Structure 1
C-alpha cells in the first residue's frame, strides 16, 4: 500500500503556497509527511506541481518518492487522475491525503487502515463531524474510476456516485482545511505548539 500526499495546487485563494505555510515549527508539507510516515515509513509518494522546487527543497528525498504533476494547473481533479494513472502499474491500494488538512492525525490513518483490513475492497472515507473528506483509502480495483477526473472536482462526486463501494469512518475532530487567509489566521491562532 502507498501513502500519497497531494501537494500540487497553486493555492490561489490563500495567495501563497499551502505546502510551505508554517504552523508552529513545521511547514504543512513537513507536518503532513510526519503524519503519513507513522504508518507508511518509506512507501510515500508526494505529488508536486506549483512551487515544486521550493517544496522539493524541504523534503528529504530519501523519505519519499516525488511525482511531478503536469496537469496541476487544471485543478485537483486532473492532478488526482494523473496520479492514479501513474501509480496504476503498481496495483496497490492508495491512502490519499491532502496537504491542506492540518486536522488529520496519525490516529485517523490507523483507523482507516484497520477498516481496510476488515474489507479490502471498500473505499474508506473519513468523516469529520459529518464532513466527508480525505484521507481516503482507494483499493486498486476502484482507482480506474478516477482516471478521467477533471477540473477542481474533489472526491464528493466520487462517493456520491459510488456509495455501494464506500465506507465512512467517523471522527470527532472538526473539519477545517486551509484554503483562505481566514483559514490561515484560524490555524495560526489555534495551533498547539
Structure 2
C-alpha cells in the first residue's frame, strides 16, 4: 500500500536519523578503542658525555669529555628544602634491574639500619623499565621520606650499560611538601633528550 508523501518523508528522515545514530555510535566505539590503546613512551638514549644544567633559567653546558657521576642539590619547594640527587654508574653485564635494586636496598640498610621500605613499584624512567622505591629513615632526630627511581640503560652501539638512579628526600612532617612527590614524578616523566 502506498503511503502519502508526508509519511514517506517521515520514513526517510527517521532512516537518516537512525543511520546518523549508528555512525555516531561506531565513531564513539572507535574513539574509545583508540583511547584504551597505550601511548608509546619514547625511549631516550643516555649520552654520558652530553651534560647541561639549567639553573634559574640560565643554561650551562658541560664541556665534552666530562660525564657526570653524582649530582646532589638542595631545592626549595613551597619554601621548604628538599634534596635531589642523580647517580650514574656502569652496570656490569649480567646484572638485571631487580638484582641491582636488591643490592641498592641492601646498601641503604647498611647506611640506615632503621630504614623502612614502604613501597616498590614498576615504572618508566626516560622510557626504560625502572623500579621506584619509597622508604623512610631517621636523619638525626628527624624522619626522612625518600623516593628513588632506578633503571639500567642498555646501549645498542656497544657502549657499556648504565645504572641511573634519581632520588629525592623530604621531611614528611612538612605539610607544605604534600605535593612534592607528585611534582618529582612529573619532573621525571618530562625528561627529554
TM-score (norm 2): 0.27
Larger radius of gyration: 2
How high is the TM-score relative to the length of structure 1?
0.27
Higher relative contact order (CA 8 A, sep 6+): 1
